[in-house]
Each structure stands twice: as structure tokens, then as C-alpha cells.
Amino acid sequence: MFEQERLLFDPVTPEQNAIPLVFAFPNTYTVGITSLGYQLVWAKFSQRSDVDVRRLFTDLHEKLPSSPEIVGFSFSWELDYTNLFDLLEQLDIPLRATARKSHHPIVFGGGSVLSANPEPYADFFDVILLGDGETLLDEFIDAYQDIRGGDRQAKLRRLAQVEGIYVPSLYGITYRSPTAEIESIEPRFPDVPAAVYKQTYRGNVLSTSTVVTEKAAWENIYMVEVVRSCPEMCRFCLASYVTLPFRVANLEGSLIPAIERGLKVTDRLGLLGASVTQHPEFEALLDYLSQPKYKDVRLSIASVRTNTVTEKLAQTLAARDTRSITIAVESGSERLREIVNKKLTNDEIITAAVNAKAGGLKAIKFYGMAGIPGEEQADIEATIEMMLAAKKAAPGLRLTLGCSTFVPKAHTPFQWFGVNKAAKKRLQLLQKKLRSQGIEFRPESYNWSVIQALLSRGDRRLSQLLELTREYGDTLGSYKRAFKDLKGKIPPLDFYVHQQWQTDQVLPWQHLHTAIPKATIQKHMEESGALPEVV
């Protein structure tokens, strides 16, 4: 599969004493090579002559070094931890960092999962990179070069001095009891910083694909990051709170040259970002892509903000082989959208559907949630009414509602809320009411959302659980069995998933800092007016 890759950068030849490094993705090649984050880190390493990087996937790998000094993982999906364990064993590396000896490589991890809350996985990594890779990766390798060949503990102590590099083993966690909340998180040594601050890249040249291949999950796609983060600050949203500030790629200096580069090797273009249509020059970008010379380009666009869906946008997308768009509305209840800070009205949602149809699109997929803090049964009814109104306003437009269960995310105002058990029945109600009206309903599994919440709010005690679930087959039943085996040794599932946590409680990620201080996040939670539903 590697021979079918078309590279959009020039790898350098590693020098004789280059660091042998394995960069892994804990999933198949098709999934991993579609990750823009994985592509970028691999290309970054490939352009350093002091690094000899080789790629590893669950089904494919380049020729691996016999004794790598560094092994890295791009970790994008929580449940890939079982694959991560498999790859470590394949490389003959102990799963737990504490079991590794001087001859074992330094194991690092990065990616969206670890940037949010690395603690459930912390015992398996020597080093975790928090934040944007644009400068952090070079600083990591430069710092490693300073102590290359030294004592393992000395290496870790030195790496911990770099802003954005988190060395979990250098922090001691104490608990009020084995099954209770955290009492304290403290550095083990005086020279280890008490808090680790995520590194943030603030430039206006954002990411683009470094490789195009027909073997990617999105065949032959060239991806361009139009914006990074999101200015909307929805109170449940990781993309807003962890990745701030909102940054946009410069149109003339970055976006257009990048698009021109990519379209020399493929005719499929993907515009990425949490809020692509909020780029201040998005209209100009649309005009650029509407030129006759790009008439054969197939254009895909990430989720768009509802009130930016104009007839012109729909026409441009339809003319570029896009049949549908995706819009996150969260709920059909305006009251609930105010709670989550979703600045959106039902009229704007209906207008988006009308404009999509008028512009030639065939379908809209709305994204919503059940179990949002403060949600009541009437809010679910309002979602049903909103979907029916959209169907009536835009007859013939295929409507889909993809619906997940609210899962609390670290560093967001709703991190203190648990999963609402009523969400399971509310998903069933939505399914019954919408499907009977000819609206496609795609619910995410409530039970797997519970597991996602477990990992989202977990602490280091879950490392034991993760090892057991893998041993027991990594099914929903394996989590139940593992909790039963660990009863009295770790908190119960309910503690992590459903319980509302106190705002003065020590959070598992409290020593890891993002763009917004905890006091501000707490203020945003209080301003929401959300109260947990008693069920």
C-alpha cells in the first residue's frame, strides 16, 4: 500500500546516527493514513535528518528498526487502546511504563484523546505530548537529543521541563480511599512542574495533507484545515474549550496555495475544521472553488454552522459532487440550546434546509444529543417537532438525525455532570416518532456512550480495568466483568459515569492546563443554569 502513496513533501535521508523512531497508529493503515494529525507528525519527523522514522499500523508496517529509541502513538479514538496494547507487545515493550528498563524505548503518545484526558492511559506512556505539534514535536526531539544515551529516569526528568510535555510517572496521585475521589496530585520531585500547560500554535498557516492515496478511508482525498478550534463555545464541546483560540488559515497566503498544490495530484478536496464556514473569507473561498477550472473537483466539507447555509453554498457544493451537508443542532429545543450556548434558532435551522434544497443538495444530516444537562422530556418533543417542520418546509430533501448521548468531556463546563440515564429511553422515543414519519434516525449506542464517559472522566485506577477488559474480549460484558473483579479496589462505574461531581473536587486532569482556567470554566457552567435531572 505504501507504494501507492503520493507525497506532498520531501522526506530527507536520515543521517548515520539518526534516532530510530517508530510512529504508530493503533488501527489499520486505511484508518490511520486518513488522519491528518498522523500524516503531519509523520511528515514532521521525516523532514528531520536526525530522525529515522518508520510507520506501524495494526495491519501493515515499514521495515522497523531492531532497537528503536522512541516509539510514538497517534491516539484518536478511546477504544483503540486494545490495539495500542497489541502493538506494544508486537514490539516486545512492556505495557506499563514502570516495567520498562533502560534498553526499552521511550513511549510517547499524542492526539485528541490524550489532549483531553490522558489519565486512564497514563500508566502505559512514558511521555504524553499535550497540544499542537507545530513546535512541540521539534522541542521534544531537541530535548531528547540533549540526553540521548543517558539514564532513563534522567531522560524523563529532562523531557518534563519542556512546556507541553507530560511525564505521568513524575506525578503522584493520592486517593481518599481506593473507591473514592482523588485527594491530591503532586509532582514527585522539586524540579518537576506542578502543572503542565498545553502548547498552542498561533500561526495562520494551518495543516494540509502530506500524502494522498487511494487506500485512505476517503479515497484520494486531499485535506485542508480551514480553521482550528471553534468560536462558539458550546458548553459540552471539547473542540472549543481544549483547542482555543480560534484560528483561521490566511486565504491568499496559505489556503489557496495549499489547495492548488493538492489539486495537482487529486481531484478530491476536503475542507476541515470544527466551524469551516465561519472563516471570515469563506465566501471568497467559495468563489475561488467555483472557477470553471475546478469543475471536476469533488468537494467535501466538514460540519457547517447552520446560519451559514446559503443557497450559494448549497449550489457550490452540489456542483462539486456533494450531495449532503452535516449540521450540528444539538436539540430542537431553543431553551436547551441556550443552556449549551448554541446560538441558533429553529427558524435558522428550517432556513438551512430550504436553502440546501434550493441549491440542489439532496440531503441534510442533523446532529443532536439526548441527555444534555438540564434536558426535560419536552425538549425531546421539541426536537421531533423541529425535524417535522424541516421536512414540511423542504419536501423531498432527505433528512437524517444522528443522535448521541451526552458524554461529559474534560476541560468543558459540563465536565462535572454525569450521563443522564433517561437518555436511553429518549433515544428510543426519537426513533419511534421520527422513523414513523419517514425521517431517518441514526442513534449512537447508549451503552457504548457510557463506556466513552467512563474513559472521558477516568483516572489512573482505570489502567487495571483496561487490561482486564482486553483480556476478557473488549465487549460491553467485559467491562461489567472487570468492574466485578475490581470491586473494592477502584470506584464503581456509577462514580465515573453518572455521578455529578462537586466543583471543589480534585479532577483527574486538574494538573493539566488548557487555554481556559478552571475558575472560568466553572463560571460558564454556572451561567448555563443547567441542573442534573433526578431519575
pLDDT reading at 535 higher than 70: no
**pLDDT grade, residue 534 (50/70/90)?**
very low
> 3-class DSSP state for residue 98?
helix
pLDDT in tens, 159-168: 999 999 999 9
pLDDT reading at 81 higher than 80: yes
Residue 1, pLDDT score:
79
Asked if residues 36 and 112 have their Cβ atoms less than 8 Å apart, the reply is no
pTM reported for the whole predicted model: 0.95
The number of beta carbons lying within 10 Å of the beta carbon of residue 314 is 22
Kindly state the average pLDDT of the residues 7-12: 96
Q: How far apart are CA 393 and CA 406, in angstroms?
A: 29
Would strands 398-405 and 363-370 be described as parallel, antiparallel, or unpaired?
Answer: parallel
Kindly state the average pLDDT of the residues 355-367: 96
Q: How far apart are CA 454 and CA 473, in angstroms?
A: 18
What are the start-end ranges of the E strands in 14-121?
Answer: 19-24, 51-56, 70-74, 106-110
Residue 3, pLDDT score:
83
pLDDT reading at 438 higher than 60: yes
Q: What is the mean pLDDT of the chain?
A: 95
pLDDT in tens, 261-286: 999 999 999 999 998 999 999 999 99
pLDDT in tens, 281-337: 999 999 999 999 999 999 999 878 898 899 999 999 999 999 999 999 999 999 999
pLDDT in tens, 372-392: 999 999 999 999 999 999 999
**pLDDT grade, residue 533 (50/70/90)?**
low
Q: Of the candidates 454, 389, 388, 387, which has an alpha carbon nearest to the alpha carbon of residue 419?
A: 454
Asked if residues 117 and 509 have their Cβ atoms less than 8 Å apart, the reply is yes
pLDDT in tens, 496-527: 999 999 999 999 999 999 989 999 999 999 99
The number of beta carbons lying within 10 Å of the beta carbon of residue 98 is 9
User: Which pairs count as long-range contacts for 96-102, CB under 8 Å and 24+ apart, including other chains?
Assistant: 96/123, 96/124, 96/463, 97/123, 97/124, 97/125, 97/126, 97/168, 97/169, 98/123, 98/169, 100/126, 100/152, 101/152, 102/151, 102/152
Share of the chain above pLDDT 70, in %: 99
pLDDT reading at 242 higher than 50: yes
pLDDT in tens, 36-80: 999 999 999 999 999 999 999 999 999 999 999 999 999 999 999
The number of beta carbons lying within 10 Å of the beta carbon of residue 321 is 13
Q: How far apart are CA 18 and CA 40, in angstroms?
A: 20
Residue 507, pLDDT score:
98
Phi, psi of 358 (to 5 degrees): -60, -30
Q: How far apart are CA 407 and CA 449, in angstroms?
A: 7
Whose grid coordinates read 483527574?
Answer: 508
Q: Which three cell numbers stand for residue 352?
A: 438551512
Chain centre to alpha carbon of residue 528? 24
Residue 443, pLDDT score:
97
Which helix (H) or strand (E) is 327 found in, with range?
strand 324-330
Chain centre to alpha carbon of residue 507? 20
Share of the chain above pLDDT 90, in %: 95
pLDDT reading at 434 higher than 60: yes
User: Which pairs count as long-range contacts for 149-154, CB under 8 Å and 24+ apart, including other chains?
Assistant: 151/102, 152/100, 152/101, 152/102, 152/104, 152/106
Asked if residues 373 and 321 have their Cβ atoms less than 8 Å apart, the reply is no
Is residue 495 classed exposed, middle or buried when 0-12, 13-18 and 19+ CB atoms within 10 A define those classes? middle
Whose grid coordinates read 530527507?
Answer: 12
Residue 164, pLDDT score:
97
Which helix (H) or strand (E) is 368 found in, with range?
strand 363-370
Residue 149, pLDDT score:
87
Residue 532, pLDDT score:
58
